[in-house]
Amino acid sequence: MSHKSKKWKQPASEKLEDLEFNPSGLDLKWSKNLTTTIDAYRIHRCYDLGSIERAIGQGEMPRSFVKQWRMVRSVLHKFAAVTPKIPTIEKMMMRRQILQFSALILVTIGVPAIVLTFILRLDDIAWFTYPLGFFAGAMFAVTALITAWYNRKIAWTIYHYIEDNPDLLKTEKALLHEWSQKLIKYTARLIRKEALDLDKTLLKLYSNDYHGVTFIKEPSRFRKHYVARYNV
């Protein structure tokens, strides 16, 4: 018997502007991770929230944060819900998935076929298994290149959609900026209190409009984020 998951709905009595986000109690690891995650959602780079959910379930998060997480998550889900609505995005994602799945099937069949043919000396079928295996390997390499192309195309499609709709989730974006800024200040206090090495507590960000950090590396061809050092 199947069970339909119940989607949480924000009670009418709860308003986003009434949420006073307070990171107190978070450790250094999670304060940094949450800063990066929340900041990423500002540009619709939607991280998987499963690790946070598991940490809450395993009791790694303070009770004060757990009480706030329901509404924080609801805001993040609004950003994640935008991407599927962008024209052509779902088609591109589907094509990418089909390509990846096809390559995986070929490799799963082709590579073991070559290994078994070689080990068991099945010369009668070598005419088929060897070409199949080499084709699967070549297909896998080509798929990696095409997948990278699709990833870049999808990212640019999302970027241009956001640029064309500057008021999209405007209130929510302001909240995410506020929450990230609070996390940056809170993390800086932790670092100062524990006298940690600043070069070993660098922060990954996707936006550069925060106070309390110095941006030491900018995005590049192979790095899509900024690298920042806390000012303590």
Please state, for a pLDDT cut of 70, what percent of the chain lies above it. Answer: 91
Give the range of the structural domain holding residue 51, as residue numbers without chain letter.
Answer: 21-82+169-230
| Closest CA relative to residue 78, chosen from 163, 142, 145, 171 | 171
Q: Which CA distances in Å does 214 have to 34, 189, 230?
A: 18, 15, 6
67 shares its domain with 109: no
62 shares its domain with 173: yes
Dihedral (Cα; 10, 12, 17, 22), 10-degree rounding: -50
74 shares its domain with 98: no
157 shares its domain with 222: no
Give me the number of domains the chain comprises.
2
73 shares its domain with 106: no
Is residue 1 scored above 60 in pLDDT? no
75 shares its domain with 181: yes
8 pLDDT band, cuts 50/70/90, is very low
What is the tens place of the pLDDT at every residue in 55-93? 999 999 999 999 999 999 999 999 989 888 888 888 888
Sequence-separated (6 or more) residues with CB below 8 Å from residue 188: 212, 230, 231, 232
The pTM is what?
Answer: 0.74
159 shares its domain with 185: no
90 shares its domain with 70: no
Average pLDDT over residues 139-151: 85
- What type of residue is 48? D
Average pLDDT over residues 95-104: 86
How far is Cα 134 from Cα 113, in angstroms, rounded to an integer?
11
154 shares its domain with 105: yes
